[in-house]
Amino acid sequence: MYISILFAISELAYETKNEYYPLIFDAPTSSFGDYKTSQFLNLIYETKNQKILLTKSFLDRDKTTRKLYIKKEFDKVKRNKAFWVKLEEPFDKNDLTTINTNVITL
């Protein structure tokens, strides 16, 4: 429901300024499952706005190695660009100097 309101505001802005503004979503599908998330992302891909989405929906951890990976379902999501901002492990959450990130283009 709230996402629909954002799209409506975006359309109103376009009608008055004749330009689309970027939409930024932080975990918009956190309550969805993988299938519904894929449907939403493929639908939002079709909009004319620039979109920036932050999500952890397609992350999983290997039960044996405990390493994070991106599920195969993400391959079915339409996108122009995608990046994985991944924390290097291990790190000490009490010592910020041990936290490093890798930006991986998907």
Res. 11: pLDDT tops 70: yes
Q: pLDDT tens-digit profile of 13-28?
A: 778 888 777 888 888 8
Give the sign of the dihedral formed by CA 55, CA 72, CA 51, CA 4: negative
Q: pLDDT tens-digit profile of 56-67?
A: 989 999 999 999
Q: Where are the domains of the chain?
A: 2-105
CB count within 10 Å of CB 79 equals 13
CA count, 13 A, side-chain hemisphere, 103: 3
- Contact between 54 and 84 (Cβ < 8 Å): no
Give the residue with greater pLDDT, 90 vs 105.
105
Q: Where is average pLDDT lowest: 34-38, 69-73, 79-83?
A: 34-38
Q: Would you state the structure tokens that stand for residue 29, as one six-digit string?
A: 């599908």
pLDDT at 1: 62
Residue type, 105: T
Residue type, 27: A
